[in-house]
A and B are shown apart, each in its own frame.
Chain A
């Protein structure tokens, strides 16, 4: 083994076969050559090993492979433990050093013994040049910048408060025992890097800038921080990209977007079952599950066996497999899909749920129709207008017309589609069932006393995105308190918070988890949905999505028996209005003054509250499972298999 190198360059890598050559080449081209390269391949499924192989003839290059993906934190700790150099530098496999990068960093550390961490400036976002990710003006104020990160902004480019990308950093050793990279077992977050730098700062580490831009943090859509916390990222996207199995629940803590600890959230649904039982069906789920994905456990509880073919690139609220609960077996939509499906022989396909999944559902529909011929039930929520904008409307219409059963989220949606297709849908093959109702398990009996009882004030709650609750001062005048739940929703409404907090009528609470719904939310008098005007005048042809939608937060309100606050929309038809009228659970207001008066009518509010508690199981998925399975069975009976001798299409899969 060669002598100890001055610098250990750590290169964690995952699925970067098309990038990694440039990264290594840029290291080889350094003016400073006393380095070793520690590549830790975090279980790449691509040909990374093959691409790296030629570089291993250089004795300075070491390649270590983790058998499965264990996360960037673990990969970095693994790399640190193998590093033998005096200094540690980082070269993520999609990034680039310029030739003088190591030289400049080494010089700073060699000549400034008091400096623990040196960094070069970087290019990022294609053509942004800066000393730090927060700009040039943070030079010399690194500690402050890390300890007081800038406020999070909706649509912000970098909301995790990071100051330094890995690629720009070189540091001494010495804090390694005290400061480690946060492993996946603790949490997955895009704050990983910022947390590490912050921990160094807290131990007194001094940072220094080299004064030159010497590397690039390369911008592309599959960067980890984007997969975690951008608008195209999210938990399911992360689980898919890194290929996590169902035995790997995550403590999911993005800097922006909903957070959840799957280990807690799904604890009760992580039981092993041998399925199907008795006359249980084999059901192939296709697409994505939206919110409250654990509801499908109601199908497993009834003895049905579930399989999943999931859309790729799910966005924040599209839940796809690999799921960390239940016993869902995944069948990826690839070249083996038809063979796998023929082997499994599902009884029915249950395709769902939102517009993002429509292209995949249509592809599956087409392929299975020609090559397998399974009964196909299609459940659609949001939304027809987005499909028109995205150009997938023809696919949507075909799925509705040609599937064996259709599920609509409410009567208004059903009727809207009947108008759009001129009554082409057979009412005997349809079911009304909201798309992402929660599992009944969360409908506990842990009722809390009403917050308003002792102080005589009116307390309302909003557990979702805040739409139309303004001007807040009008609510204050009407004497209505509002309790806003959900950190990531607070991030979206800085102006409203600035206006509301000084009034004493606005109260912020962290995200309320399903197991807390009843205990936490039953304190309130009534609950906010989107506040919107409707102008359809009772003609559904004029409806927009607000008129047709049932927001996902309804499930929590049902569970907690909360009356619904809705704007009076006159003679217009909306799904929420119908629902509130059906169970008599609505407070329909003309303006906030009127709302305050209605909510102070304790007798009326108590009646609405009783009505909602009586009706609340209408908001649980379990209530409808038998009807849904009946629709499956009807589709199975009514389905005529296609003539298998027909010529087959030559291509399967996404190809």
Chain B
């Protein structure tokens, strides 16, 4: 058979409801000298059935990888099978209009020095772009290029929605790009598009992992979020052998999602307990679900989980943690085949009100066997809803996403303030309450603000621009810092910021809002580095973080920025608080509470 001019590559994964439309649009092309390489990236059998009738066309070839390997690998495999001198892409959820191939072939013919041709594209249902869509890389469906030896970046190297980084960038080095300026294809807008799965906040590393059931750790960097390297980060955990079961070790079934600092659960495994995971679907970026990149947790398949759980016979179900997990945790609670069920909830009852999942949340509190509250204030807040249904013997107070103790290292750096004599503070996350005028006032007191996190900085662009004008030289931007560097990096600062907010509840629980009840995850981050924690003085109100800071002597509360300035200049006092934090910092690791948690589980059995 003669070699075709164009090889159309079609990577596909479980899109049998879309693929026939893509294929039909190819067979309707006015240009017919093509071959199609379908690379089925480990789909269930429905995909094969859906393409069956197209295989009668000798131009169509179908290959199936036994297991899903990711877009880059599927495309490299398809490239290896391609015989045409020109390569086009037709992802199985997209479509060509009838003259798509013809128009791209024509402009490549007319531009011998071009390596890549790009068509206009319809996108987001009814919008169109005559070339690259603003805010997105050039999409596969709109490209035709000459065949080269370049290869696609694969999942084991990096997961990203940045196709330029995956391939186009290399191609660009080899010649120019030409544009047809005609809309001849559609990048079909739908919920399960790969880039939506990859982009935070609705998508992200957990959405990706869950959708493709990726069992290995990931290097992940969407065009929105922070770079994450799970290979290196979790290597010490992953590569150690499983802990042998303790004689009285429990079988613990984790249900829902683990959120931040997910590897903390290994503290349970280290104590000889066996962990299983049954995870929610469609997690948001920070809802950590399995397959877990640090190992030692055995996943229970989602489908038909009741049977699997009956077979495992766990001693306890430990369901957690944030509002996204409530519907699934509720489902498990209601269909639970009689296993003691512990519910641990963090953020937040108010979101459950808003989403209409409040009745489910109340079931989780009233129909479970044990309940864990993240702060005493939170418990008291729930108590008014639960009445006698809140049984103190069946409750525990423990924060939801405390880190693993390994990240609390001892490699402190010298203080920045000792170099320049000014005061340096750190914001590891959203600068909540630090309005530009506040930072301006801080600058007057010669207090610097170091703001960490590329993702958050992206969301706070406007704030950054304003602050730069109002407080020149006093705002410093730093990239995100991994847990392993918390102590080292943040120990340079004099103090760290919690959320700054004015409480308005007057000591009245019914008036409390989320800020009043919550322990932000960053408390542990600051504790790891032994930093005094800064917050607005809410004396006279219920404020969980202030109560905690006062009890432990780890915080600085202030009413005015001037007052804060003088407190921070009191080096002796500052040093005393710093020592307090350092001495008690283990309390902010999950490990410090693991035995208490297990004892709580046992008390319910």
On A, residues with C-beta under 8 Å from B are: 18-19, 21-22, 25-26, 51, 54, 96-99, 123, 126-127, 129, 216, 218-222, 385, 388-391, 393-394, 396-398, 419-424, 539, 541-542, 544, 650-651, 655
Contacts and interface: CB of A to CB of B under 8 A. Distances in A.
Contacts of B54: 422
Given A98-B511, A221-B354, A21 B95 contact: no
B387 A25 contact: yes
Interface string B507-537: 0101101000000000000000000000000
21 contacts: A26-B384, A51-B387, A54-B388, A97-B510, A99-B508, A126-B350, A216-B510, A218-B353, A385-B125, A389-B189, A397-B16, A398-B17, A419-B21, A419-B24, A421-B21, A422-B23, A423-B24, A539-B98, A542-B122, A544-B125, A650-B306
Given A393-B18, A542-B97, 12 more contacts: A18-B358, A26-B384, A98-B510, A123-B511, A220-B353, A388-B189, A389-B189, A393-B17, A419-B25, A539-B97, A539-B98, A655-B334
B24 A126 contact: no
A321 to B, nearest CB: 21
B173 interface: no
Interface string B175-216: 000000000001011111000000000000000000000000
Contacts, number: 102
B362 interface: yes
B97 A421 contact: no
Contacts of B355: 221
A390 B28 contact: no
B386 A21 contact: yes
A49 to B, nearest CB: 15
A655 B189 contact: no
B399 to A, nearest CB: 23
B356 interface: yes
Given A18-B359, A389-B189, A541 B388 contact: no
Given A539-B98, A541-B25, A422 B358 contact: no
Nearest to A46: B359
B24 A388 contact: no
Nearest to B335: A655
* Residue among B353, B355, B362, B388 facing the most chain A CB atoms (10 A cut-off): B353
A544 B355 CA distance: 31
Contacts of B20: 420-422, 424
Contacts of B335: 651, 655
B28 A18 contact: no
A307 B334 CA distance: 29
Contacts of B387: 21, 25, 51, 54
B362 A390 contact: no
A25 B384 contact: yes
A391 B191 contact: yes
A122 B299 CA distance: 47
Contacts of A419: 21, 24-25
Nearest to B385: A22
A220 B18 CA distance: 37
B508 A98 contact: yes
A216 B386 CA distance: 18
B113 interface: no
A544 B386 contact: no
Interface in B1-57: 16-18, 20-21, 23-25, 28, 53-54
Contact of A19 (B97, B191, B354, B385): B385
A394 B385 contact: no
B335 to A, nearest CB: 7
B interface: dominant SS:
helix
B356 A220 contact: yes
B126 interface: yes
B16 A126 contact: no
B331 interface: yes
B511 A394 contact: no
Contacts of B95: 541
Contacts of B18: 393
Interface in B295-336: 306, 331, 334-335
A388 B191 contact: yes
A139 to B, nearest CB: 19
A230 to B, nearest CB: 12
Contacts of B21: 419-422
In the complex, the 3 A-B pairs of residues with the closest C-beta atoms, listed nearest first: A391-B191, A388-B190, A394-B17
* Size range of the chain B interface in the assembly: 35 or more
B379 to A, nearest CB: 14
A165 B354 CA distance: 18
A97 B16 CA distance: 55
Nearest to A97: B510
A97 B306 CA distance: 43
B71 to A, nearest CB: 19
Contacts of A544: 125-126
Interface in B339-386: 350, 353-356, 358-359, 362, 384-386
Contacts of A650: 306
* Residue among B54, B97, B508, B510 facing the most chain A CB atoms (10 A cut-off): B510
A219 B355 CA distance: 10
Contacts of B358: 18-19, 220
Contact of B16 (A19, A389, A394): A394
A541 B510 CA distance: 56
A518 B42 CA distance: 59
Contacts of B362: 18
A388 B188 CA distance: 9
Interface in B78-97: 95, 97
Contacts of A423: 24
A396 B122 CA distance: 23
A538 B20 CA distance: 21
A419 B21 CA distance: 6
Nearest to B382: A22
A389 B191 contact: yes
B385 A21 contact: yes
* Residue among B98, B384, B386, B513 facing the most chain A CB atoms (10 A cut-off): B384
Contacts of A221: 354-356
A509 B191 CA distance: 40
Given A21-B384, A218-B353, A422-B53, A393 B190 contact: yes
A528 B457 CA distance: 49
A226 to B, nearest CB: 10
B25 to A, nearest CB: 6
B540 to A, nearest CB: 15
Contacts of A539: 97-98
A440 B466 CA distance: 65
A18 B385 contact: yes
B239 to A, nearest CB: 37
B118 to A, nearest CB: 19
A96 B353 contact: no
A118 B306 CA distance: 56
Nearest to A424: B20
B103 to A, nearest CB: 14
A228 to B, nearest CB: 16
Given A54-B387, A216-B510, A221-B355, A541 B189 contact: no
Contact of B125 (A127, A389, A655): A389
A50 B126 CA distance: 53
A397 B331 contact: no
Nearest to A536: B97
Contacts of B28: 541
A655 B508 CA distance: 38
A127 B513 contact: yes
A391 B97 contact: no
Nearest to B355: A221
B189 A126 contact: no
A397 B20 CA distance: 11
A97 B18 CA distance: 54
A548 to B, nearest CB: 13
Interface string B91-128: 00001011000000000000000000000001001100
B189 to A, nearest CB: 6
Given A98-B511, A389-B189, A422-B24, A126 B354 contact: yes
